[in-house]
Structure 1
Amino acid sequence: MTVYYTISADNFNSHLFDVSICFDTVANKAYHLTLPAWLPGSYMIRDFAKNIHQLSATDANKHNVALTKLDKQSWQVIAPNNKLTISYQVFSFDLSVRTAYLDNQRGFFNGSSTFLAIKELQYSPCELLINQVKQQDNWRVATGLTRAAGTKKYQFGQYHADNYDELIDCPVAIGDFDAFEFDVNGVCHHMVFTSKHYGDRERITKDVSKLCQHHINLFNDVPFNEYWFITHLLADGFGGLEHKNSTILQASRFDLPNPNKPEELTDAYQTFLSLCSHEYFHAWNVCRIKPIEFIPYDLSKESYTEQLWAFEGITSYYDDFSLFRAGIIDFNAYLLILSKAMTRVNRGNGELKQSVADSSYYAWTKFYQQGPEAVNHIVSYYVKGAIISLWLDLTIRDKSAQKYSLDTLMREIWLNFGAKNIGTTTQDYIHIANKLCGEDISEDFHSLLYKSERIELTALLAKFGIAKVNHKFKSLMNVETVGCKDYIPYLGLQYQASEVGLKVTQVLENSPANIAGLAVNDVIIAIDQLKVTSTVLQSLAEHLPANTAVECCYFRDDRLINTNIEFKDSPDTGIALEVIDTNKASLWQSLC
């Protein structure tokens, strides 16, 4: 039995998609309608049903049929005859990668926030009719959904999904977008930008193709017939969400490469490529290789797993590493990226209080709803998971005498779990790692996942010609590091310019800023009786003698507070990685 969905976007000025669902019924049978509370890849309850309006049901004779509310996202209807039509509107004004958006410039929707499921028919085939938008003759459609007979690529018309899960796993963009295609390994890849851009299309094609080919070579398999990169370009934005044959990205308009500077690789463009790499890797790792707790997904409530360190951490390890392997950046540039990641973990105390397994398990609250204390109390399963992946890669290479690597482990996981739709457990990773190492590394592996402690990598990195060096922070913002024994002033906070003064965005535990009483969202307006800007604060710090305490004036909400703050010497909690033996370093770099 097929479920027929129709979506129209004519109410674009009101930001409303009109949706109808038609399906055959059994008379007097109860049918249950429900909308997911979250979507795969974004581990937070979103309550998408809050955006549904004007929900109604009619029978084959166009008579209204009563709907009974069951909870915040579910309804029940008793079918009076052999057909039901469900109609409703979806308010769509969230231009993120997760929900839906519609205005007179473009439209976008994830099925999980847009299409009600008929619970009794969730495994039935679905047909989706995407109607042409009135007064927008130049709009087109971009989606990984299967095109039905008679519907050509980029056309409005009929699309097909084998079941509800597939329907909501294929997001749709509509509008007057720019799109171009490129072939990788015999598979057509589509790059779509949903708003105006000035980027170098040839450069993007060349670079993204290399990254896609790297991932295909690593897994030695292509699990999709086509792939879609759909990117929302904004004045300022960043993010991505993976799907089985597509991804939704968000980037800033000028992150893309400048066609007038074909050899330039800006930090912003490098970050965009890393994002493309990350989400493409997810087509294998999490879209198909999944923790056992996600098979099948229960989208009505939280689904807890301790394994996000593997699904986001391993993916985060490869997203930047593949930039080097694909020849887009050199090895020193890659080590700089890795150094910054290690510094982000090392400069706070979060990893001393939370394990990556717990970080994964509590993603629903502690990670996805971070409070002002996050840097001091939690650790990122993305970043520390990537560092554990580094440890695992080098450990397997070392103990197998370069015969195997993390590449091998991921292929084993793919062949034995992802390709067979079998969920993984933590023990599966440990078991395969032991097999590849030729010895039992379970105790060390288990400690890295379940204990709240620093990862010691110095000796292991040295085996691959890399020195791990502790550095001080170059400036008060605690971002860049420098190898130096001289005094460098330090406060242990981060901030951003506000309308008046500097707004505090992060305070490290036991730092001078913390001891002085500063907190996130405080606005510093004066220090040592000087009006504060980022330049003034940095310059003042550099001119004062070591360990000087000065008066600091700040607003907390609307209350003016005075305190004394002391500039201390920077701790050496920054990390730098340096090549000391190029021959040994080459052992790490190869795909194997």
Structure 2
Amino acid sequence: MIQYQICPINPNSHLFEVLLSFKSTPGQSYTLTLPAWLPGSYMIRDFAKSITEICAYDSNQQAISLSKIDKQTWTLQASDEQVQVRYQVFAFDLSVRTAYLDSQRGFFNGSSTFLQVQELSEQTCQLTIQPSTLVEHNQWRVATGLPRAQGTEKYQFGQYIADNYQHLIDCPVAIGEFDSTEFTVEGVVHHLVFTSKHYGDTERLAADISKLCQHHISVFGEAPFKEYWFITHLLANGFGGLEHKNSTILQASRFDLPNPQQSSAERTEDYKTFLSLCSHEYFHAWNVCRIKPKEFVPYNLKQESYTKQLWAFEGITSYYDDFSLYRTGLINFEEYLAILAKAATRVNRGVGELKQSVTASSFDAWTKFYQQGPDAVNNIVSYYVKGALIALWLDLTIRSKSNGRYSLDTLMRELWIHFGRTNIGTSEEDFINIANLLCGEDISSTFKHYLYSNERIDLTSHLASYGVALQKQKFKKLNSVETTSAEHYHAYFGAQYKAQSFGLTITQVLENSPAATAGLAVNDILIAVDKVKVTEQSLQALFDHSPANSELICHFFRDDQLLSSTITVTDSPLAGIAFNVIDESLVKRWQDIISIE
């Protein structure tokens, strides 16, 4: 058994100390390494940069020489039958990916914290989580999906067990004086943990999330875990999530949770977004944590692992995250269509969809998606959002061609049975072959066209078959994806921006838009249009009061230089999408495949 011990030795300096101990063979060399990335976040993170003051000893506390051979790897030669490695980790990234420690809370992913003994990677790991020695931390507790060793109770500091190194790093840990609540679905205990102050109604939240958990378990037919942990970092502002096999780390605003002063029928947009995030990460417990691309079996965490299948693992999951809110009654169908329309509009408003396929987007996730440049809106497509639209097409296609016998639910359950349970990685052909069987005909040509073409996906006829009309619309406002009827004139700017104390900072410029033609670029600070100081309100008003084809002088700073240009106001293009119900009876066929209690 490999033994790890972690202690928050200096919260104010954001330092964890880790002690790694293992039995060794005298004279044998061992390799210690830390992952460069972690599953679910496709970017090289170089976690080893946060390791400080590393040293090694034998059983007599005699120093063992460590040789660093690359940015994340050390070697040593054992001098007797025991090796101890002691090091510190600077933990100051309050994201879902790495590690964080301060006087209020602590958190760590094993992938950024625990060195792997490469030669012993399949051995059982025992982790001892030690409490802070500071008096003010006496009420701190532990939240993690790691199995507890005998004698360690839930939420206690103590010993935890992992089957091997991969299991160890798949179970993130939160420590602190956190709020927690529990609920049970299908015999599985689910934990909701909030690592900072909040004002939410956790009882109502548990009731809502339990419906989503029941939905996902019903889709796949079983829960592949004995317990599940939703661990949420609450901040003033924040949003994100990262999936693990029996837990997820979430990030949200402390005011995203349901307001106890409101009725249970009221759900704010922020709360619905948080529910969608919970739904998304929970669905991942099957789709990508267990059903995964063949390129990820096993994971190679030393370098990039390329796959063209992220459109399926993120796109299908993104389709279900909001659709499940509708199916479980957390939102009505009109609310679901509005959410779906925003997603479709995000894809349709730019030209990235015409330059990059979802398979190329998946393959280039490491650079083009996770490290987006100022050109991203014009040159890439999101495998999340475009993938969700392909999932919608696939769901409606299977339903239609099977005369309502099967759906995307059926395809996901088949993937679970044949690939998830068995830990056999998928190929693109596996999705296509199962879809062909469910449809009762070969849809490979159309399927591959949507995956590999740089063309827009037209869902008009498919949606009409299920009682929904797709309408092209104009943008209602300059700085949002909110759309409105095409009947009236709406001025168009073609750039996104955020307000500053002085002016508006340009954050995106759409290709061939008035802003692009005027020469505005990302990071420019727009200060005046038509000799009027601009704010979010004044810029909107200026454009609203300007007729089509009028020319306005704009002034802006680029770095520290004051520049000017002429912008031509145009009518909004029909780049927005809206969905409307035209036949209620057909809409019901979109839902009624599996029984949702």
Specify the TM-score bucket, using the shorter chain as the normaliser: over 0.9
Distance 1:367 1:356 in 2: 11
Distance (Å, rounded) in 1 between the aligned partners of 2:452 and 2:544: 41
CA deviation vs aligned residue, 1:288-317 (integer Å, no higher than 9, x gap): 000000000000000000000000000000
Q: Distance in 2 between matches of 1:258 and 1:523?
A: 37
Q: d(CA) in 2 for partners of 1:241 and 1:429? A: 24
> Which residue of structure 1 lines up, in the alignment, with residue 68 of structure 2?
69
Which position in structure 1 is the counterpart of 2:165?
164
* One-letter amino acid of the counterpart of residue 585, structure 2: N
Secondary structure, counterpart of 1:285 in structure 2: coil
2:249 matches 1:248: yes
Matched letter for residue 186 of structure 2: N
User: What corresponds to 1:34 in structure 2?
Assistant: 33
* Aligned partners of 1:349 and 1:509 also within 8 Å: yes
Whether the 8 Å CA contact 1:239–1:251 is kept in 2: the answer is yes
5+ long unaligned stretches in structure 1: none
What secondary structure does 2:421 align onto?
helix
Code of the aligned partner of 2:178:
F
Match of residue 569, structure 1, among 571, 576, 583: 571
CA distance in 2 between counterparts of 1:11 and 1:312 reads 38
Runs of 4+ that moved beyond 2 A: none
Amino acid at match of 1:194: T
1:132 CA drift (Å): 1.8
Which residue in 1 is equivalent to 2:546? Answer: 544
Equivalent-residue separation in structure 2 for 1:487 and 1:76 (angstroms): 68
1:471 paired residue among 470, 473, 485: 473
Contact 1:474–1:481 (8 Å) recurs in 2: yes
Question: CA offsets per residue over residues 191-218 of structure 1, 9 Å max, x none?
Answer: 0000000000111011000000000001
Cα shift at 1:478: 3.9
Does 2:518 match 1:525? Answer: no
Distance 1:264 1:587 in 2: 27
Residue identity opposite 2:209 in structure 1: V
The aligned amino acid for 1:245 is N
Structure 1 partner of 2:50: 51
How far apart, CA to CA, are the structure 1 residues paired with 2:256 and 2:112? 28
Q: Which residue is equivalent to 1:366?
A: 368
Q: How does 1:198-209 map to 2 (within 5 A)?
A: 198-209=199-210
Shift of 1:590: 2.2
Q: Deviations over 1:326-349 (max 9, x none)?
A: 100000100000000000000000
- Could you say what secondary structure the match of 1:445 adopts? helix
Partner of 2:91: 92
- In structure 2, which of residues 433, 443, 466 is the aligned counterpart of residue 431 of structure 1? 433
Give the TM-score normalised by the residue count of structure 1. 0.99
Map of 1:343-362 to 2, 5 A cutoff?
Answer: 343-362=345-364
Q: Spell out the pairing of 1:156-555 with structure 2 (5 A cutoff).
A: 156-262=157-263, 263-555=265-557
Residue 587 in structure 1 maps to residue 586 in structure 2: no
C-alpha distance in 2, partners of 1:283/1:396?
24
- 1:205 is matched by which residue type in structure 2? A
Question: How far apart, CA to CA, are the structure 2 residues paired with 1:128 and 1:591?
Answer: 44
Q: How many Å separate the matches in 1 of 2:315 and 2:86?
A: 41
- The alpha-carbon deviation at position 499 of structure 1 amounts to 2.1
| Cα distance, 1:10 vs structure 2 | 2.4
User: After superposition, what is the alpha-carbon deviation per residue over 1:197-247, rounded to whole angstroms, capped at 9, x for unaligned?
Assistant: 000011101100000000000100110000000000000000000000000
Percent of residue pairs identical: 64
1:561-589: CA deviation from partner (whole Å, max 9, x where unpaired): 00000110000110001110111111112
**Residue in 2 that maps onto 1:131:** 130
CA distance in 1, matches of 2:553, 2:69: 59
- 1:477 Cα deviation (Å)? 1.4
Quick one: distance in 1 between partners of 2:158 and 2:531?
66
Distance 1:505 1:203 in 2: 37
**8 Å contact kept, 2:290–2:420:** yes
Q: What SS class does the counterpart of residue 451 from structure 2 fall into?
A: helix
Distance in structure 2 (CA, Å) of the matches to 1:374 and 1:564: 25
How many angstroms apart in 2 are the aligned matches of 1:494 and 1:54? 45
Residues matched between the structures, number: 591
User: Aligned partner of 1:256: which letter?
Assistant: L
CA distance in 2, matches of 1:10, 1:363: 37
Return the alpha-carbon distance in structure 2 between the equivalents of residues 273 and 498 of structure 1.
Answer: 31
- 1: CA distance between counterparts of 2:489 and 2:154? 62
Counterparts of 2:87 and 2:515, CA distance in 1? 52
Q: Counterpart of 1:409 in structure 2: which amino acid?
A: L
Computed over aligned residues only, the root mean square deviation of the Cα atoms, in angstroms, reads 0.6
1:478 touches 1:493 (CA, 8 Å); kept in 2? no
Residue 83 (structure 1) aligns with: 82
Answer whether contact 1:472 1:574 (CA < 8 A) is retained: yes
Check whether the contact 1:218–1:591 (CA below 8 A) recurs between aligned residues.
Answer: no
SS at match of 2:315: helix
CA contact (8 A) 1:242 1:282 kept: yes
The structural deviation recorded for 1:544 is: 1.7
For 2:267 and 2:147, locate their aligned partners in 1 and report how far apart those are by CA, in whole Å: 36
2:558 is matched with which residue: 556, 559, 563? 556
- 2:19 partner letter: S
Secondary structure at 1:589's aligned position in 2?
coil
Select between 534-543 and 435-444 the one with higher mean Cα deviation: 534-543
Amino acid at match of 1:514: A
What residue is the counterpart of 1:101 in the other structure?
A: 100
Q: Tell me, what secondary structure is at the counterpart of 2:590?
A: helix
Separation in 1 of the partners of 2:108 and 2:174? 7
Deviations 1:231-265 (A, max 9, x none): 00000000000000000000001001110102321
Distance 2:133 2:593 in 1: 51
Q: Deviations over 1:340-393 (max 9, x none)?
A: 000000000001000000000000000000001101000000000000000000
Letter in 2 for 1:468: L
**Contact 1:53–1:88 under 8 Å retained in 2:** yes
| 1:478–1:492 Cα contact (<8 Å) kept | no
Letter in 1 for 2:450: L
Deviation of residue 485 (structure 1)?
Answer: 1.6
Shift, 1:591, TM fit: 3.6
For 1:104-158, what per-residue CA distance to the aligned partner results, in whole angstroms no more than 9, with x for missing partners? 1000000000000000000000000001211211000000000000000000000
Contact 2:32-2:75 within 8 A present in 1 as well = yes
Give the residue type in structure 2 aligned to 1:46. Answer: R
Matched, 1:117 2:98: no
Unaligned runs of 5+ in 2: none
Query: What SS class does the counterpart of residue 61 from structure 1 fall into?
Result: coil
Residue deviations 1:464-494, cap 9 Å, x none? 1110000001011141000132211001111
Contact 2:406–2:593 under 8 Å retained in 1:
no
Kept after mapping to 1: 8 A contact 2:404/2:593:
no
Equivalent position amino acid for 1:60 in 2: S
